[in-house]
A and B are shown apart, each in its own frame.
Chain A
Amino acid sequence: MRFYEYEAKQLFRQLRMPLLKGRVAKTPAEAKTIAEEIGGPLVLKSQVLSGGRMKAGGVKFPDDPAGAEQAAKEVLALEINGHTPRGVLVEERGPVAQEYFAAVTWDGRAKAPVIIFSDMGGIDIEEVAEKHPEHVGRVHFSTIVPFNPFRAKEAISATGVSGSELNRLTPIVAALAEAFLRYDLTLAEINPLARLEDGRFLVLDGHVDMEAEARDRHAKLLDDLGIGKDETREARPPTEFEIKGAAVDATDHRGVAGNVKEFDGDLGLVIGAGGGSLTLFDAVRNHGGKPANYCEIGGNPSVQKACGLTKLILSKPGVKKIAVMMNVVSNTRVDIVARGVIKGCVESGRDPGETIAIFRIPGAWEDDGFKILEKYGVEYCDRSVSMYEAAGRAVAKMSK
């Protein structure tokens, strides 16, 4: 779950990291007031959860409050990669002498957190790592031995930085690493971290991601930052259809019928589980099918959930049929899913036999499930028909 830059900076401020004067404005008038408080040259940055702000024109450099008001007006009206800005961050601007990069993230291969530091900040770190590996320091650290700042020092020192520079940078990077662990972050990045010509070391821009699974453990911080419980903060904002999908999944605690993602096709998918959904979505597309949605069912969902998900998908304009498919299931009862999807069709005023293009869920209680499907004239298949073939049968029915 990504933080807006101004939220990341609020967190950094709590950690006593050195920041530029400034704060977020929601209106041009507010931007002007903040500019007056700061006095002097300014940077205005669009608050969107997307990269490429500079290129898109979402960053401006006015010199006075009047200029800030005008710039804020433009920035607030500018949509960047489909994201509407949450506000505009108004900050002081000073001449930069040197830029650094500092980040803490997970190294899944080492199964440990890693500090990444470079004295070539401000640009793409992957590019620096490729072209100038001697300018990138990487140091892993333990999650069970208490964190000590020498880890940060080692990462900075590895790039050849020494002297007072090293001693000024170490506490900033160490604070970043401690915050990373304390708040269950998956990324804590400062880029650039800058030394200004006046000698100050300051955080110019920050990127913070919190692990979605850990949200409820940091309710107070999220509340302080004003991050709502229903904000998903994914790569694109959730659609209304997806929000309704989450509500279906929340109806009870039995199993999963969720992670609904909207697409613009005509074939609704009731598919599962985690890996099965990925496999089946690929299969439908390979056959030339146009999915109306992605979703995951599994863990033995209740009749109510399977029914709710089916109704939601059938309520989407343009959905002609649904395909109900899973891998060979371990702990999901086939008969319960069958009941749920048939109920969903009936309650949507649709004939299950016509609407369900194929039902392919082999596993426990499949005989009971197949009996119910037969009664309603639904085409089904057992494990002798592959997931790929089942998807093909469903797609073939769409062109009829």
Chain B
Amino acid sequence: MSILINKDTTVIIQGITGREAVNLTREGLDYGTKIIGGVTPGRAGRDVYGVPVSDCVRDITDKHHVDASIVTVPPRFTRDAVFEAIEAGIKLIVIVTERIPRREVAEMVELASLRGARIIGPNCLGVLSPDEAKCGGLGGPAVNVRRAFKKGPIGVLSRSGGMTTEIANTLTAAGLGQSTAVSIGGDAIIGATYAELMPLFEADPETKAIAIYSEPGGRMEAELADWITVNKSRLPVVAFMAGRFMDEMPGMRFGHAGTIVEGKADTTADKIERMKAAGISVAERIEDIPALVKERLEKAGH
């Protein structure tokens, strides 16, 4: 099984007539995703690859049940779009847009939490469940997705969109398919974190192990380590930590907006130590991930 999305998930795209959104629509439809509508204010009546465009999210939710929305509108309009989706009752919102100030992200996350909705991102490539559906740019065109992603027992969580595909591809090449891959976003404040998505994988009987891509900055890895320790997770976790050179360069921002070393807890050294203490295997190189996953699966009796 997959988490978050499957082939029955009904999806809309907010900002559907934008250049990037048009690509997302094409890729999603080609991959079998049920994209049932799109929103661009003032463009009602048009269509994008046969997907009807509406002015308001309500125009769609009044007629159909909508499970998820992909938001890809410019940063200045993102909060408005996300609030609109949440207030229309949509429970899964994937925010692709980047460069949104933290205050607005916190506002969106707080409203989502009040309304029982879940946010993935911002600054992410979305969610992909192999052979089921994809919400966001992950993997690119459907033909490329089919090459890098295969259905299987590994959950993938990554702070980098590009590295989500790299890791999935590495797992696929080693015969390890994926249940769902989530690009969780590279900002300092994001919706669902590793620790918040772990219970979903934990509850999915077909997921047997987790592969994680992490970076300097933030407390997300510490939160994951705590979650695993407290909940005695059944899932072996293998993590790769990028940006080790940044430990020597405090105050410098590299990669994503959330990737900066300001205090000791931001360093890769500190995170690796915490993750290892929680029983997470830390891979030195991406290509070491499959062997470590297999080793952990064997030990767990799979």
Interface residues in chain A, defined as those with a beta carbon under 8 Å from any beta carbon in chain B: 106, 108-109, 111-113, 126, 142-144, 181, 184, 186, 211, 213-214, 217, 234-236, 259, 261, 272-279, 281-283, 285, 294, 296, 298, 326-331, 362-364, 383-384, 386-389
Check A326 against B141 for contact (C-beta < 8 Å): no
A126 vs B264: C-alpha distance when bound (angstroms): 11
From A296, A328, A331, A387, B148 is in contact (CB under 8 Å) with A328
Q: Which residues of B contact A111 (CB under 8 A)?
A: 105-106, 109-110, 189
Check A331 against B245 for contact (C-beta < 8 Å): no
Check A330 against B250 for contact (C-beta < 8 Å): no
Closest B residue, CB atoms, query A330? B140
From B159, B249, B286, A387 is in contact (CB under 8 Å) with B286
B162 at the interface (CB under 8 A from A): yes
Check B159 against A275 for contact (C-beta < 8 Å): yes
Check A282 against B255 for contact (C-beta < 8 Å): no
User: How would residues 151 to 191 of chain B score, 1 for a CB under 8 Å from any chain A CB and 0 otherwise?
Assistant: 00000001111110110011001000000000000101100
- Which of these binds chain A: B94-102, B200-208, B291-299? B94-102
B254 at the interface (CB under 8 A from A): yes
A143 vs B104: C-alpha distance when bound (angstroms): 8
Q: Which of A113, A184, A326, A331 has the most CB of B within 10 A?
A: A331
Distance in Å from the Cβ of B21 to the closest Cβ of chain A? 12
A108 vs B186: C-alpha distance when bound (angstroms): 12
From A143, A213, A259, A362, B99 is in contact (CB under 8 Å) with A213
Query: Would A275 and B255 be within 8 Å (CB), given that A327-B166, A363-B144, A388-B285 are in contact?
Result: yes
- Which of these binds chain A: B6-14, B46-54, B216-224? B216-224
Q: Which residues of A contact B285 (CB under 8 A)?
A: 283, 386, 388
Q: Which of A109, A236, A387, A388 has the most CB of B within 10 A?
A: A109
Q: Which residues of A contact B75 (CB under 8 A)?
A: 213
B23 at the interface (CB under 8 A from A): yes
From A113, A211, A274, A328, B166 is in contact (CB under 8 Å) with A328
A228 vs B20: C-alpha distance when bound (angstroms): 32
Query: Would A235 and B162 be within 8 Å (CB), given that A108-B258, A275-B255, A296-B255 are in contact?
Result: no
Check A285 against B110 for contact (C-beta < 8 Å): no
Distance in Å from the Cβ of A392 to the closest Cβ of chain B? 10
A and B contact pairs by CB, cutoff 8 A, 25 listed: A106-B188, A111-B109, A126-B263, A142-B110, A184-B103, A213-B99, A235-B249, A236-B252, A259-B254, A261-B254, A274-B256, A274-B259, A275-B158, A275-B213, A275-B242, A276-B160, A278-B160, A279-B163, A279-B240, A285-B245, A330-B165, A363-B144, A386-B285, A387-B286, A388-B287
Check A181 against B103 for contact (C-beta < 8 Å): yes
A289 vs B104: C-alpha distance when bound (angstroms): 41
Query: Would A278 and B162 be within 8 Å (CB), given that A112-B110, A285-B245, A330-B139 are in contact?
Result: no
Closest A residue, CB atoms, query B158? A275
A331 vs B160: C-alpha distance when bound (angstroms): 14
